Structure 1
Amino acid sequence: MKIGFVGLGDMGLPMAQCLLAAGHDVVAWNRSPTPLATLAAKGAIAAASPAEVMEKAAIIGICVSSHDVVETIAFGADGLFSAPTIKARAIADFSTGAADASRIFAERAAKLGVAWVDAPVSGGVEAAQKGELIVFAGGTAEGINALGPLLDAVSARVTHMGASGSGQVTKICNQMIVAANVIAIAETTAFARKAGVDVAALAPALAGGFADSAPLRIFGPRMATRTFTPRLGAIELMRKDVGLAQSLAAEIGADVPLTDAARAVYDRAGEHLSVSPEADLSALVCLYEDAIAHSDEGEPK
C-alpha cells in the first residue's frame, strides 16, 4: 500500500522509516528538506507539497508540533485537501493538539469523504524507532480500521477512546502525568546529588519500585550525566501540552493545581539562561542544580 506521511521531526521521521521497513511505499512531505532527503535516500517518494501526498497515497499520517500547523497542512494553500484529486480515504493525525480542533478537522474532512482520526501517541523517540508507540484514537471505528496498515507499522497498541477529540483528551491526560513526573525526576536528581548520593545509580536503584516509570528510566540517567542530546522530548512542546490541559480544564471546570504548578516550572525553564525552550526535557535538571549552586555561593535561589 502507498502510505503518505507529513511531518518528519523527532517522532515523524522514525515513524515514516518504520513504514518503509514494513514494506510499504511511502510518499512524504516535510517543511524542511533535510529529513525529507534522509527518508528519500531510504526509498521514499519526496513530495513537493502536502497536496501531492493526498493525490498519491491511500492513507496518510500527520505528525507535527500543534493543531495550528495541522490545520495549515491539511486545509491551507497547497494543503492536503487542496489537491485536485483526493485519493486518501483516511488520515491519522498523530500530533498533539486541542480536542475541539480535532473535532472540527474531522467534520471538514468527512464532508470531503475522508475519515479523520485523532491519533496522538506516547512512548517517545525510542518507541517511534521500534514501531512500538502507544496510540490513543478518536474517531469512527471504520476510519481506524482503514488506517490499519499505517497503525500496525508504527504502534504496539491502539486504543479506540471514542468519538473525534477523545484521543486528544487522552493524550492530554498522559501529558499531565508525564509533565509533572519529569519535573519530579529533575528535582529529585538535583536533591540526591546535593545529598551525596551517586545519581548515576539512582534510576537503577529505584527500578521495580513504586517510583519507577518510563520517564525515570529514560530521563533519569540523562539528568544524572547532564546528557541533553540527542533530544528525546522538547521543553517547549511539553509546555504547549500543559497549556492545552489548562485550557481544557478551564473549559470543563476541572481543578488542576499540580498541572498549574508544572506550567510555572516550564515557563521558568524557557526563561533560564542555560536552558532553551527547544532543549531536551532532561535539561530541566539545570533549573534545580543551578539553584543549588547559587545557594551554595550565597546568592538567592
Structure 2
Amino acid sequence: MEIGFCGPGLMGAPMIRHLLRAGHTVRVWNRTRAKAEALAAEGAQVVDAPRELATRCEAVLLCLADAPAVEETVFGAAGLLGGANPAEPLRVRWIVDHSSIPPAATRALALRAAAVSSGATDHATNQSGAGWIDAPVSGGVAGAQAGTLAVMAGGAAADVDAIKPLLAAYAARVTHMGDVGAGQTAKLCNQTIVTATIAAIAEAVSLAERSGIDAARLTEALAGGWADSVLLQTFVPRMTQSGLAPIGALRTFQKDVDTVAATAYETGTPMPVSATVQQLLRLGAAMGLGEADLSAFVDVLQTPRGGAGR
C-alpha cells in the first residue's frame, strides 16, 4: 500500500521503519523537515506538504502533538484536505490519527473531513469521502520500537477492519472501541491509569529514599507481587538514575490529564485521584519541568535521584 505519514517523532519514526520493513511505500512529511529527511536513507520518501500525501496515498497516518496540529495538518492551506485542486483528485481513503486529542475534537474533525473529501475525491474509485479512524496508541517508545503497540480504534467497523493489516506492522493488538471518538476515550482511560500509577511510583521512590533505603532495589523487591508492573520496572530505574535517554516529555502527560479532567466535567464523572495528578503536573510545569522526561514526577516531589540509600 502507498502510505503517507505525518509526524516522524519519537513514536512516529519507529512506526515508519516498521511500515517500510513490511514492504509499504511510505511518504513522510514533518513540519521540521530534517526529522523526515532522517528517514530517507531507510527508504522513506519526503514530501513538501501534507497535500501531496492525500493525492498520492491510500492511507495517511498522523502522529502529532495536539488537536491544533492535527487540524492544521489536515485542513491548513497546504493540508491533506486544504486548498483542494480539481486537477488533483484525492486518493486518500483513510485518515488514521494516532495523536492523542480530545474525543469531541476528533468527532468534529471527522465530520469536517467527510464533508470536504466527499466533494473532492476521485469518483472513478467510487469513494464517498475519507474515512476517519482515531487510533491512539499505548506502549511508549519501547513499544513503537518493538512493534508491540496497543491501538484503541474508533470509527466505522469497515474502515477499522480495512486498516488493521496495515497497523499490524507495529501493533500487537488493535481493538475497535466504537464510533469515531471512542478510541480517544479509551486512551484517556489508559492515561488515567498510567499517570496515577507513575505518580504513586514516584511517591514510593521518594518514601524509600527519605527512609534511608536504596529505592533502586524496589524493582527487585516488588517483582512478582501485586505492585509489580511494566510501569514499575520502567520508571523506578528512570527515577533513581540520571542521564537516561528521554522517552517523552512531562507536558504530554499534562495535556492528556487536562483532557481527562475536561471529559470528566462533560460526563459528570468524579475523578478525585486524576484531579490530584493534574495538580502535580501543573506544579511540575510551574517548576519548569514541562520538557523533562516522564519520570520527572519524582522531581516534583523534590527527591534527589540516587539519594539517601546510596
TM (norm. structure 2) is 0.90
State which drifts further: 156-165 or 141-150: 141-150
Structure 1 counterpart of 2:5: 5
Among 266, 269, 287, which residue is 1:251 paired with?
A: 266
**Structure 2 gap ranges (5+):** 118-128, 306-310
Structure 1 counterpart of 2:27: 27
For each residue in 1:42-94, what CA deviation from the matched residue of structure 2 results, as whole angstroms up to 9, or x when unmatched? Answer: 11000101111111111111001111211111111101012532111011100
Structure 2 counterpart of 1:69: 69
For each residue in 1:271-293, what CA deviation from the matched residue of structure 2 results, as whole angstroms up to 9, or x when unmatched? Answer: 22xx521111112211224489x
- AA aligned to 1:101 is A
- Indicate the percent of aligned positions where both proteins have the same amino acid: 43
For each residue in 1:112-138, what CA deviation from the matched residue of structure 2 results, as whole angstroms up to 9, or x when unmatched? Answer: 210000000000000001111100000
Q: Could you tell me how far 1:145 is from its partner in structure 2? A: 2.0
Moved over 6 A (4+): none
CA RMSD between the two structures: 1.7
**Does the alignment pair 1:60 with 2:64?**
no
**Does the alignment pair 1:133 with 2:149?**
yes
Q: Could you tell me how far 1:226 is from its partner in structure 2? A: 3.2
- AA aligned to 2:182 is S
- AA aligned to 1:80 is L
Structure 2 counterpart of 1:218: 234
- AA aligned to 1:9 is G
| Contact 2:164–2:174 under 8 Å retained in 1 | no
| Contact 2:155–2:181 under 8 Å retained in 1 | yes
Structure 2 counterpart of 1:92: 96
**Does the alignment pair 1:282 with 2:295?**
yes
Structure 2 counterpart of 1:109: 113
- 1:267-278 correspondence runs (5 A): 267-272=282-287, 275-278=288-291
- AA aligned to 1:100 is A
- AA aligned to 1:284 is F
| Contact 1:226–1:283 under 8 Å retained in 2 | no
The alignment partner of 1:81 has SS state of coil
CA 1:140–1:150 in 2, change beyond 3 Å: closer, same or farther?
Answer: same
**Does the alignment pair 1:171 with 2:184?**
no
**Structure 1 gap ranges (5+):** 293-301
- AA aligned to 1:231 is P
